[in-house]
Chain A
Amino acid sequence: MACFLASVLTIVLLAFIIGEILVKAWPAMIKFGLGFITGIQWSPNRGVFGVLPVLIGTVASSFLALLLALPLGLAIAIFLSEDFFPAPVRQVIRFVVETLAAIPSVVYGLWGIFVVIPLVQQYGAVLAAKFGFIPFLAGPAYGNSLLTASLVLALMVLPTITAISRSSLVAVPYTLREGSYALGATRWETILSVIIPTAAPGIVASGILGFGRAMGETMAVAMLIGNSQRLSWSLLSPSNTLSALLANQFAEADGIQVSALMYAAALLVVLTLGVNIAGEAVLRHTQKATAGLR
């Protein structure tokens, strides 16, 4: 009986979390409606709340992180699933990647402040001077920027992407590999045209789930992104994300601002849940598909 109650409580908990956030967000939802999502101003002292720049910052930073982390993660996953090196060496690399996942977000933030920000400031200024005519690289270059946050985010989602890609590569039946070798293909011809295409849905799922993780990441981003609600095309200017906005403003908020922040939190829940459900669905589909190949 207690077990039954505990499981019901677990289900109720999720509903309660979403319900509680929606209830507290309700005043802002009534007041601002969909204009909240399309508004580009966020000024609590004037009572104006719009999250479009923050939404764009959330998606842009996570997408950029994914762009960096997916090729890296896939390369490591291949490294771990092939026998370039004996198993103990691969085990060490695997341990290293898993350790990346265990480092607290706030420590990434501290490291980012003292290592990545100076690097981005230095090389960002060079980039902006040379390629400033491209809107994405327009100056002035800031250390606290979208690029800095994305670089650190990429590192943080690398373990997720590597782990899921690796398990989908390992799940490719060995007979396919043997077939390819028998036709005279080299190792990399086999990897690129047999193994990766077969594992592709799993790799896509790893990307989607990594994207979901990146969108929810809070502390490192809050410490590095510069927290600016100004719209800008440049990767080198400060930006903001939904989670960083919540982290920075909740403790001092009152009145309608709390409600507006709850609205933003509800948007974050919708975004991350949507992405995660999509990722899980693709992953489940993959597992069925590869099971059929055996």
Chain B
Amino acid sequence: MTSTAATSPKNFFSDAGKKTSLLRLFRNHFLTGLCIAISLLTLVPLFSIIVLVIKNGLPLLSTNLFTQLPPAPGLDGGGFGNAIVGTLVMVGISLGFSVPLGILAAVFVNEYASVSWLASVVRFVAKLLTGIPSIICGVFAFAAVVMTTHKFSALAGGLALAILILPTILLTAEQALLGVPYAFREASFGVGATPFQTIWCIVLPEAMPAIMTGVMLAVARAAGETAPVLFTALFSQNWIKGIMEPTASLSVLIYNFASLPYAYHIKLAWSASLILVVLVTLSNILAQVIFAPKHH
């Protein structure tokens, strides 16, 4: 299909002479303008989102937001310190599961068994996992943790996020390992290093900046997600006491407060959005700026 489309002349070539060149020129410029206009149009919603998040989020921004608990319905004042801590704790738990698992699996796929069927199955599964809706991670954690412990908990939320970010970490770590020149390994083997020593002392340190890029991207992804923690960690009005307790998070706070009929809670939701967007953007920038370009 592709080759015929590319080689067979289309109608307009044959009747090109009949059309005035002016008309063709006009059509050309018209489509260019249209294409540029559409591309610029996408700026509008993005600016709308950013402007509104800043405009509605800034007025409440103070240290109280970080140190106080959410107010009772109908009351003013307070902040969402517990939600910030909860988000950080759950992202931490998810990294604790996914970073070792993802990096080890990537090392296996790329260093030990790059052409075996098992490696291609791992790659395929990781691809499939990236396509699984985030809420399914929550459903799984609900089935596996909440239904067995009979409790909503930060652990369940962290586990759901871990599944969400595992493919990101695995696939970026694999790309990072691929980026290490093969000569490095040959040189290492040449001076008598074992495969383990080669991987541990030569390949992994060399790939580390690029692996960290993947980890930071995963942090950005996990911090912003709501669906996996919505009915696994649930929400809490209080400070986190342990990882087996229901835990507040910024994203669930936004979801819960957005539909409340209290003006102050809605303002808090906007402020939480501002902090969440800043957190996610910072992790993304960190991923791209600080770690990546050192070696390439």
Contact = CB atoms under 8 A, between A and B. Distances in A.
B27 to A, nearest CB: 7
Nearest to A195: B6
B107 A3 contact: yes
Nearest to A110: B258
Interface string B215-240: 00000100111110011001000000
Interface string A18-60: 0011011000000000000000000000000000000000000
**By DSSP majority rule, is chain A's interface helix, strand, loop, or mixed?**
helix
A51 to B, nearest CB: 15
Contact of A186 (B24, B46, B112, B128): B24
Contact of A272 (B28, B132, B143): B132
Interface string A106-139: 1111110111000000000000000000000000
B165 to A, nearest CB: 13
Contacts of B119: 7
Nearest to A219: B226
Contacts of A189: 12, 24, 28
Contacts of B255: 106, 109, 219, 222-223
Interface in A175-208: 176, 183-189, 191, 193-194, 197-198, 200-201
A13 B166 contact: yes
Given A96-B43, A106-B255, A250 B133 contact: no
A228 interface: no
A102 B284 contact: yes
Contacts of B293: none
B178 interface: no
B62 interface: no
Contacts of B34: 75
A235 interface: no
B143 A262 contact: yes
A10 B143 contact: no
A277 interface: yes
Interface string B140-168: 10111001000010000000000100100
Interface residues of A, number: 91
Contacts of B143: 20-21, 23-24, 262
A224 to B, nearest CB: 10
Contacts of A78: 35
A265 B139 contact: yes
Contacts of B61: none
Nearest to B121: A11
Given A107-B277, A111-B52, A262-B139, A188 B16 contact: no
Interface in B39-83: 39-43, 45-46, 48-49, 52-53
A167 interface: no
Interface in B89-124: 100-102, 104-105, 107-109, 111-113, 118-119, 121-122
B230 A272 contact: no
B290 interface: no
11 contacts: A10-B166, A75-B38, A78-B35, A82-B35, A84-B32, A100-B46, A109-B254, A115-B48, A155-B45, A186-B27, A268-B133
Interface of A: 2-11, 13-14, 16-17, 20-21, 23-24, 71-72, 75-76, 78-80, 82, 84-85, 93, 96-97, 99-100, 102-111, 113-115, 155, 158, 176, 183-189, 191, 193-194, 197-198, 200-201, 212, 215-219, 222-223, 243, 246-247, 250-251, 258, 261-262, 265, 268-269, 272-273, 276-277, 280, 289-290, 292-293
Would you list the 8 A-B pairs with minimal beta carbon distance, nearest first?
A: A216-B133, A104-B224, A197-B5, A6-B104, A276-B131, A3-B108, A250-B231, A75-B38
